[in-house]
Amino acid sequence: MNLKNYHNIYFIGIGGIGMSAIARFFAVNRKSVAGYDKTPSQITQDLTELDVEIHFEDAVNNIPISFLDKNKTLVVYTPAVPENHTQLNYFTKNDFTILKRAEILGKITESTFCLAVAGTHGKTTTSSILGHIMAHVKATSFLGGIAENYNANLILGDDKISVVEADEFDRSFLKLSPNIACVTSMDTDHLDIYKNPEALTDSFVEFTNKVSDTLIVAKGLPLNGLTYAIEDQADYVAHNLKIHQGTYIFDVATPTSAVKNISFYLPGKHNIMNALAALAMADVYGVPLEVIKQRLETFKGVKRRFSYKIKTENLVLIDDYAHHPTEINAVENSVREMYPEDKILVVFQPHLFSRTRDFADDFAKALSKFDEILLLDIYPAREKPIKGVNSEWLLNKIDASQKKLTQKNNLVKDIKSSTAKIVVMLGAGDIGVFINSVTETLLKELEYEI
């Protein structure tokens, strides 16, 4: 199929972080774009400012008339859309061309030199760092988060080079044709899709077999490629790490050269690994190391990745997307590194009943590392409840003296009653939206100023 044959692009789930980047890409490239999403958000508001027509009720009569011509309209949907979705079924029954998000991303990037970032953790931060570096050579980057430097999940360049997240969910990354790729991690996840860890591993191997030029992998993964590590033997090594006024300073040795005194402000050694992966990919492509160093030093981060919402002498509120035990451990390590003497309260909203069930013991162990725990109800996303799997069940597994269940309407009160100076709110559900009202209320009621 040729994308040039379609004037209209209709998105079902247009407000999703990955979907909206593609919708924005088509909108700025003068396609007629419209779509449906479940709820309004800042993302959908931003799209409407690009003349994208969006509605929030699943009804066929909400589809713009000009989009009802199947010869001119391409339909894109996210796997999170339920099978009984009225509009999706309408398009299916009437023989429209319909693609999943990963398929359309594959079509957009198949004629470009594609740099793809895969891994169960670190994809969004690594691809955002890489996108910021590769903007120097006018790459177009499709991101799974809002890059602070651009306040967008799309970094628009030309049509010759692309940077993409290679998402393992639903085996989406197998639709891509990467020239250079990295794999940041392969921790077990998405067992609702893969059923067992071996199937997930097999999928990563299949992805790496699609890489035409160079594969780069975190040292220790069961894959063959150039390796990267911190203070260890590898092809790319970060060493001489120091922290100065909240900023990492480190050196990097590459297979053929070295660069010294890189400044990088994101906290946590896992972010040094993300930066190192991006450096390696850009170096393999051919971006000069001094340019890479400068781009790393100006990278501001990704929203909801250790994002400070409040930062005062008396209260620090941090927002993070962490929704897997490995990610929670990484956040806890980063907070301890930045605030070693302070009490830390975590507010966690579990994401998916199946993930909570599959990793309950690991979640409990990770959360137990915090000084105090507030646990919200499980965010169901695309799932129906699983009998016996709930936040009270998870709470009972947590080994901590200060832990309790909470609800959104009690959360500010519970935070205020805590003696913790550091509050970390974690999760991939609507906690990322709800934290904004929590921030506003805390600033107002406690009369803090950022």
Is the residue at 274 inside a domain? yes
* Residue range(s) defining the domain that contains residue 165: 110-297
Domain boundary among 100, 120, 139: 100
Residue 149 sits in the same domain as residue 268: yes
* Residue 302 DSSP label: B
pLDDT on residue 189: 64
* Residue 105 DSSP label: H
Q: Is the pLDDT of residue 46 over 80?
A: yes
Higher pLDDT, 371 or 444: 371
What percent of the chain has pLDDT above 70? 97
First to last CA, the chain: 51
Q: Is the pLDDT of residue 190 over 70?
A: no
Centre a 10 Å sphere on the Cβ of residue 276 and count the other Cβ atoms it contains.
28
Query: How long, in residues, is the chain?
Result: 450
Residue 371 sits in the same domain as residue 405: yes
Is the residue at 105 inside a domain? no
pLDDT on residue 192: 62
Task: Name the pLDDT band for 315 (thresholds 50, 70, 90).
Answer: very high
pLDDT on residue 82: 87
Handedness of CA 88, 90, 91, 95 (dihedral sign): positive
pLDDT on residue 137: 98
Is the residue at 188 inside a domain? yes
Domain of 67, CATH number, reads: 3.40.50.720
Residue 248 sits in the same domain as residue 143: yes
Residue 183 sits in the same domain as residue 81: no
The span from the CA of 429 to the CA of 433, in Å, is 8
pLDDT on residue 14: 97
Q: Is the pLDDT of residue 449 over 50?
A: no
pLDDT tens for residues 277-312?
A: 999 999 999 999 999 999 999 999 999 888 889 988
Residue 100 structure tokens: 């999943």
Domain boundary among 74, 100, 126: 100
What percent of the chain has pLDDT above 90? 80
Residue 115 sits in the same domain as residue 234: yes
The span from the CA of 87 to the CA of 58, in Å, is 6
Q: Is 285 helix (H, G, I), strand (E, B) or coil?
A: helix
pLDDT on residue 74: 98
Is the residue at 122 inside a domain? yes
Residue 161 sits in the same domain as residue 258: yes
Strands 140-147 and 161-166 come out as parallel
Residue 133 sits in the same domain as residue 82: no
Contacts of range 126-130, beta carbons closer than 8 Å, 24 or more positions apart: 126/182, 126/184, 126/274, 126/275, 126/277, 126/278, 127/163, 127/164, 127/165, 127/278, 128/299, 128/302, 129/274, 129/275, 129/278, 129/296, 129/299, 130/163, 130/277, 130/278, 130/281, 130/282
The span from the CA of 146 to the CA of 46, in Å, is 12
Task: Name the pLDDT band for 107 (thresholds 50, 70, 90).
Answer: very high
Domain of 281, CATH number, reads: 3.40.1190.10
Is the residue at 450 inside a domain? no
pLDDT tens for residues 130-152?
A: 999 999 999 999 998 999 999 99
Task: Name the pLDDT band for 11 (thresholds 50, 70, 90).
Answer: very high
Domain of 392, CATH number, reads: 3.90.190.20
Higher pLDDT, 34 or 203: 34
pLDDT tens for residues 142-181?
A: 998 999 999 999 999 999 999 999 988 777 889 999 999 9
Residue 23 sits in the same domain as residue 154: no
Residue 333 sits in the same domain as residue 223: no
Is the residue at 20 inside a domain? yes
Q: Residue 110 CA to chain centroid, in angstroms?
A: 22
Distances (CA, A) of 184 to 104, 105, 271, 283: 24, 20, 11, 17
The span from the CA of 97 to the CA of 117, in Å, is 28
Residue 314 sits in the same domain as residue 290: no
Q: Is the pLDDT of residue 87 over 80?
A: yes
Residue 134 sits in the same domain as residue 210: yes
Q: Is the pLDDT of residue 378 over 90?
A: yes
Residue 135 sits in the same domain as residue 78: no
Is the residue at 302 inside a domain? no
Q: Is the pLDDT of residue 1 over 90?
A: no
Domain boundary among 100, 123, 157: 100
Is the residue at 49 inside a domain? yes
Domain count, the chain: 3
